[in-house]
Structure 1
Amino acid sequence: MTNAEAYDRGFAHLSSHTVAPLLALTCAGRAPRLLDVGCGTGVVTSAALALGAEVTAVDADPGMLELTARRHPYATIRRATLPVLPFEDEQFDAVTGNFVINHVAGTAEALKELHRVLRPTGILALTWWKADEMTATNVFADAIAASRIPYEPPDRPFTGNDTPPRFTALLAQAGFQAAAVDTVRWRHQVDLASWWTDVVQAGGPRFDVIARQPPETVECIRGHYDRLAAPYAREGFPVCAYLAHATR
């Protein structure tokens, strides 16, 4: 289980950059019944509530859900994992998923499920990272590699579907209309020491290997991280994500 508080300080801040464009698509000029899939610590939920949306938020991690429920008592919080959602057909006006589809093993099945719970003309908006331009996290993988510790990164089940042409094709196969993918770029400006602490404490499948090492190995990885991250101290890490949107 991910450390929710550390995730909130680190990864949630990183992922918050795409919240405004997500909600510009799904909440423009109205207050929809919105499903926030893979809500994490609630960055989308919080912003959608502020816009007047009726929000249902789901996640697989109990710690994330507990934190989101504590902060946002006016949201409906449910534990659920794609590709199976505990909702009736056509229940929502909009569905958002901020960096969750890239963690789902069955992309096609997940999209069909999201199509099922949307009402006709409902809007879907999903984001995922462009992996080769994720300097903010790739710097950790590079530091681990430079430390020469035995490490087998977890599989990326989404890799075969992460290009805009492939993903728009999957959206069409799931029954969506007018599918498109936009590119979003920004600089993630963060204190480098805090970023190290928050990512390592958050853990998760990619980086929990760091905290499991003996102290001298952790210090070795940290030294490589400091060296690799230093060029980004002033202007921030360059980050790139994709934003897919479509209509039911």
Structure 2
Amino acid sequence: MTAFDVSERRIWDGRAEAYARTFARLCAHPVPRLLDAAGVGAGVRVLDVGCGSGTVTAAAAGRGAVVRAVDAEPGMVEATRRAAPGVDVQLGRLPELPYQEGEFDAAVANFVLNHVGRPAAALAELRRITRPGGRVAVTIWQVPGAAGQALVGRAAQAAGLTRPQWLATVDAEHDFPRTPQGLGALMSAAGLDDVRTEVLAWDHHVGAEDWWSGPASGVAAIGRLVNSRGPEGVAAAKREYDVLRAEFTKEDGELALPHVALLAQGSV
């Protein structure tokens, strides 16, 4: 594993329930488009890689697909088993999945490439476990992102919080531009054909306290930043957040947070 992979395991350790309560609804937005891109329908053998709280798995099962799922975090495995009873969910991590070559008709990974230290190797593994003629579809967060994606980070910065030293970044030799062109080139380099990418932009509507509860609970890298100086740091960031959130607050009191992601698909 790279230093980034080790960091990710530490970030997500024990955070499955907090993620399900907070950021899971945000990450669910592209799921129908993701499954469409992979051609997931009745009878299709599909693997949900990095299944998280089980949103993609349950949606694929609802389409009548023959679904299996895998995640690197034991809590996420259990969450997906609860969300999609009867689905085979295993513990495993990219780029070494516990499946045979060509075992699936389709492989999907919703916001998973953001969390691996070797994205090209991860995509090559998705291609390996997908049969010839099958499809691979992935989503990632675009960089730079939209204004709503930066809200909590701005609050943390205003509070004087700094990124913990143990939070690693992807090594330069393994990184890629998080743009439509960059993601498309990575898919092609992994050996996928007929690669297509598109930008997905939407406003995530959420209560202000609900949105804050994810980072405050330590979910994701932003959560570890918010908690980097203990309760005092969390409180300081919350004060800044309460000021900055006014930019996104609508008449009903909810936040409308602009987000932008990328969806890519290719055939084996």
TM-score, normalisation: structure 2: 0.86
Give the distance between the partners of 2:210 and 2:139, measured in 1 at CA.
25
Cα shift at 1:181: 0.6
- The match for 2:158 among 140, 146, 149 is 146
Answer whether contact 1:57 1:77 (CA < 8 A) is retained: yes
In terms of mean alpha carbon deviation, does 157-166 or 62-71 score higher? Answer: 157-166
* Matching residue of 2:54: 42
Identity among equivalent pairs (%)? 35
Pair 1:107 & 2:127 matched: no
Per-residue CA distance 1:175-232 (angstroms, 9 max, x = gap)? 2110011111110000011110133214233322323534333221101111122221
Partner of 2:107: helix, strand, or coil?
strand
Cα shift at 1:71: 2.5
Cα shift at 1:31: 2.9
Give the distance between the partners of 1:97 and 1:73, measured in 2 at CA.
20
- The match for 1:223 among 229, 239, 250 is 239
RMSD of aligned alpha carbons: 1.9
Answer whether contact 1:7 1:202 (CA < 8 A) is retained: no
Q: Which amino acid aligns with 2:256?
A: G
Alignment of 1:58-73 (within 5 A): 58-73=70-85
In terms of mean alpha carbon deviation, does 74-83 or 152-161 score higher? Answer: 152-161
- The match for 1:124 among 104, 113, 136 is 136
Give the distance between the partners of 2:219 and 2:38, measured in 1 at CA.
31
Partner of 1:83: helix, strand, or coil?
coil
Give the distance between the partners of 1:213 and 1:65, measured in 2 at CA.
30
Pair 1:78 & 2:90 matched: yes
Cα shift at 1:151: 2.8
Per-residue CA distance 1:72-109 (angstroms, 9 max, x = gap)? 22211011111111110100001110000111111121
- The match for 2:63 among 51, 60, 64 is 51
Give the distance between the partners of 2:235 and 2:216, measured in 1 at CA.
12
Structure 1 residue runs without a partner (length 5+): none
Give the distance between the partners of 1:122 and 1:156, measured in 2 at CA.
32
Cα distance, 1:28–1:83 mapped onto 2, change above 3 Å: closer
Partner of 2:29: helix, strand, or coil?
helix
Give the distance between the partners of 1:27 and 1:54, measured in 2 at CA.
13
In terms of mean alpha carbon deviation, does 188-197 or 207-216 score higher? Answer: 207-216
Cα shift at 1:70: 2.1
In terms of mean alpha carbon deviation, does 97-106 or 194-203 score higher? Answer: 194-203
Pair 1:243 & 2:263 matched: yes
Per-residue CA distance 1:13-61 (angstroms, 9 max, x = gap)? 0011100101112245543111001110011011101001111111111
Give the distance between the partners of 2:264 and 2:234, measured in 1 at CA.
37
Cα distance, 1:131–1:228 mapped onto 2, change above 3 Å: farther
Answer whether contact 1:61 1:79 (CA < 8 A) is retained: yes
- Give the total of aligned pairs: 248
Q: Which amino acid aligns with 1:174?
A: A
